Amino acid sequence: MNREIAVVAFAQTDHRRTSEELSEVEMLMPVLHEVLAQTGLKTADIDFTCSGSSDYLAGRAFSFTLALDGVGAWPPISESHVEMDGAWALYEAWTKLLTGDADTALVYSYGKSSPGPLRDVLTRQLDPYYVAPLWPDSVALAALQAQALIDAGDTDEPALAAVAARSRTDATANSHAQLAGSVPQGEYVVRPLRTGDCPPIGDGAAAVILAAGERARGLCDRPAWIRGIDHRIEAHSLGVRDLTDSPSTRLAAERAGAFERPVDTAELHAPFTSQEIVLRKALKLDDGVRVNPSGGALGANPVMAAGLIRIGEAAARVHRGESDRALAHATSGPCLQQNLVAVLEGDPR
């Protein structure tokens, strides 16, 4: 595992509440063109392609097969797909580059939440025999976690409101964000979570290009080297988990080398304000770390792309020289069940 691999380019859509005038392919195409243009690469120059998405958002089996048409897979390409957030597609691409079978990889993901009621759709992720039939929705489950945190004395409602305010203020500097600026905390959606504690529901796509070694240096002035990346899953049942903690995030961070030296930036995939509290604790982030300068998932949370966007945003800060060592995090499943952590570094300046 001595091969150096870096994120060399990142692009994303403007995230919107609805994109009903666009198919998934049409939503994705400009992002693919943009990320390739950043490096000057063409589809035929890419050694491996991997995507992340979920059929359930489109309401249609095999929806990803059509997205492939947007890539222009001709002549045929070496390609794979995870039915997960694109952050895990990036992980698969990273392992492919590590084997030496590929020097460049295109990773993309997308999600349109607008075709269906997202809170209902996400209930279908749950244990199909005992839990899903009760239709507990994603906000209700996050509220259980938030209340557990408040009961444990880890946070309170004003502190959650402060997370929301900081995120949406930061999102004003992010032209892609869906929800930015002075957003009122609003009424309770599910107590103790108010409107402001919850992410916007939206459509969006993102793409990243990875490259190995000297190839990365040739494609990017300041590559964001992936120093470590790891992901871990926890038990599904909420009844057997301590919702105030995230041992899987801590373990992934440890394996990714996040604790070896301090990071200056952290892009956390925390769709709910309360989840930032959990992640900050698990990742041992102090106030000196710039958390979610992009506005995070509270600014835009296109399901299946939001995790990849965290890696992209962290990498872009390294590219721009705004960060030397950044942490990126992605999550999947109810109440932070599955978590991925990547550590990105720029060459010394």
Partner 1 sequence: MSKEPVAVVGIGQTKHVAARRDVSIAGLVREAARSALDDAELTWADIDAVVIGKAPDFFEGVMMPELYLADALGAVGKPMLRVHTAGSVGGSTALVAANLVAARVHGTVLTLAFEKQSESNAMWGLSLPIPFQQPLLAGAGGFFAPHVRAYMRRSGAPDTVGSLVAYKDRRNALKNPYAHLHEHDITLEKVQASPMLWDPIRYSETCPSSDGACAMILTDRAGAARAPRPPAWMLGGAMRSEPTLFAGKDAVSPQAGKDCAADVYRQAGIADPRRDIDAAEIYVPFSWYEPMWLENLGFAAEGEGWKLTEAGVTELDGDLPVNMSGGVLSTNPIGASGMIRFAEAALQVRGQAGEHQVERARRVLGHAYGGGSQFFSMWLVGAEPPTS
230 lines the binding site for partner 1 (CB under 8 A): yes
d(CA 3, CA 296): 30
Residue 186 main-chain phi, psi, to 5 deg: 70, -165
Q: Name the one residue in this structure whose structure tokens are 């091969």.
A: 3
Query: What's the min distance (Å) between Cβ of 31 and partner 1?
Result: 18
Half-sphere exposure of 8 (CA within 13 A, CB side): 28
165 lines the binding site for partner 1 (CB under 8 A): no
d(CA 307, CA 301): 9
134 lines the binding site for partner 1 (CB under 8 A): no
DSSP state letter for 16: B
231 lines the binding site for partner 1 (CB under 8 A): yes
Residue of 38, 81, 136, 165 that binds partner 1 (CB under 8 A): 81
126 lines the binding site for partner 1 (CB under 8 A): yes
Of 65 and 182, nearer to partner 1 (C-beta) is 65
**Residue pair 227/195 in contact by the 8 Å Cβ criterion:** no
99 lines the binding site for partner 1 (CB under 8 A): yes
d(CA 193, CA 146): 7
Q: Which residues contact 98 (CB under 8 A, 6 or more apart)?
A: 1, 3, 5
Query: What's the min distance (Å) between Cβ of 287 and partner 1?
Result: 30
Q: In the stretch 185-224, what mask flags binding to partner 1 with x, by CB under 8 A? A: ----------------------------------------
Tell me which residues touch partner 1 (CB under 8 A): 1-3, 49, 54-56, 58-62, 64-66, 68-69, 72-84, 88, 91-92, 95-96, 98-101, 121-122, 124-129, 132, 230-237, 247-248, 251, 332-334, 337-338
